[in-house]
Amino acid sequence: MVRIGFIGAGSVEFTRNVVTDLCSFPELHGELHLALHDIDAERLGYAEALARRVSDQLGAGATVSASIDRRTALEGCDYVVNEIQVGGYRATRTDFDIPARYGLRQTIADTIGIGGIFRGLRTIPVLLGIGHDLADVAPDSVLLNYSNPMAMLPWAVYSGTPFRNVVGLCHSVRDTHKFLAGLVGHPEEELELVTAGFNHQAFVLRFALGGEDLYPRLREIVEADPELRRRVRVEIFRQFGYFPTESSEHGAEYVPWFMHHDSQIDQFRVPVGEYLRRSEENLSELDQTLAALRSDGPLDLTPTSELASEYIHAHQTGRPAEIYVNVRNDGLIDGLPAEACVEVPATIDKAGLHPRAVGALPPQLTALNRTFLNVVELTVRAVLDGDRRHVYQAALLDPNTAATLTTTQIHDMCDELFTAHGDLIPSSLR
């Protein structure tokens, strides 16, 4: 039997998607043990009921267990899917509201920037605990991480715990490839696409059809479409020559050129505070899911091809799958530190995960990635070393924050956030 742990299983919509995918694979029927964990007992109960309903409706015959104790849920797991958001909506609201009082704009605030830094400070200690637990009770498992900040969390696990087998998963590359295929009017499967960099700041390095470079065609399409040019990611493509994987609203807060200027907010239609609206929509979706769960009718179960389920299926069946993963660099991308967590193409099969080296990025992309790396590395080191100075330094080096605030404002804002988050921040940093 294949034991799959879910940490943060109370994120019911996401749990539903992965469980639906897994239970839709005939090869895994009768072979699944879904071990659910959440610190919220009520939400854990919802997740358990949902997993049982999904398994029954799809005839998967899965065993479902739930535990408020994390180590109990993780013991003996083959795979562990992590989907936590430490502090929930309240902490996210704090990450937006306090910087906003200083005049600092954010859109998603979960990767770098002030929101990404403080989400990292809250989340890294929990991931370190998970890594230590897995080293003790499931040393041969694979930790499949979805939580943000993605570039920070796997790095913290493999650098700060004895557990090394951590793989970050994100939809951004897949979604970007689909978007580009639509722009040039060719099925994605016909295109030659290679992408690499950091999660949320990777770039499409090869974009071709039958050996023909499609970037000249893409430039023609962009220059002929004024509305397309009103997207941040398209502007970054125009300036740096390669298409970025992150959405325009998210990508705007990783660089210094957009968020501080009213004219750029208008021109590029940057939705300030976007993640707060999405969080409120997620709460509404939870209510809808719970209402469906309480009804007697069948659930609407549509497989979503979640990357975690694709990974597990390929590894279990030996049918290879091509996915993008976030793993320790170790020479996969030249010019970036070996210990950094990078996003690269990979194959998963019966033998395991096989990330592919992509060599050196174009120098302008390496330069842009380094500005991203500054914030990521210092935040990870702040927690691992217990050094509060690195938090201030990460904030001072963050492109959007540095373009907006003075050094004194940045220090004062960080101090307010430390106080507001309280016990969610590691004691060594408080």
Catalytic residues, by residue number, are 171
b/e sequence 91-130, b meaning 16+ C-beta within 10 Å: bbebbbebbeebebbbbbbbbbbbbbbbbbbbbbbbbbeb
Taking CA atoms, 10 is separated from 42, 44, 67, 74, 202, in Å, by: 8, 5, 12, 16, 30
b/e sequence 189-201, b meaning 16+ C-beta within 10 Å: eebebebbbbbbb
Alpha helices, H only, 161-247: 172-184, 215-223, 232-240
Beta strand residue intervals within 38-82, DSSP E: 63-67, 79-82
| Distance (Å, whole) CA 327 – CA 350 | 19
Six token digits for residue 203: 């770039």
Helix (H) / strand (E) containing 33? strand 32-37
| Distance (Å, whole) CA 43 – CA 49 | 10
Residue 49: other Cβ atoms inside 10 A: 16
| Distance (Å, whole) CA 40 – CA 31 | 27
253: which residues sit within 8 A by CB, 6+ positions away?
A: 105, 106, 107, 108, 109, 112, 113, 259, 400
β-strand partners of 71:
none
Maximal CA-CA distance, the chain: 60
Residues present in the chain in total: 430
Instruction: Give residue 303's identity as a one-letter amino acid code.
Output: P
CB-based contact 150:111 (threshold 8 Å): yes
DSSP letter for each residue of 276-328: HHHHHHHHHHHHHHHHHHHSSSPP-------HHHHHHHHHHH---EEEEEEEE
Helix (H) / strand (E) containing 390? helix 389-397
Helix (H) / strand (E) containing 244? strand 243-244
CB-based contact 215:192 (threshold 8 Å): no
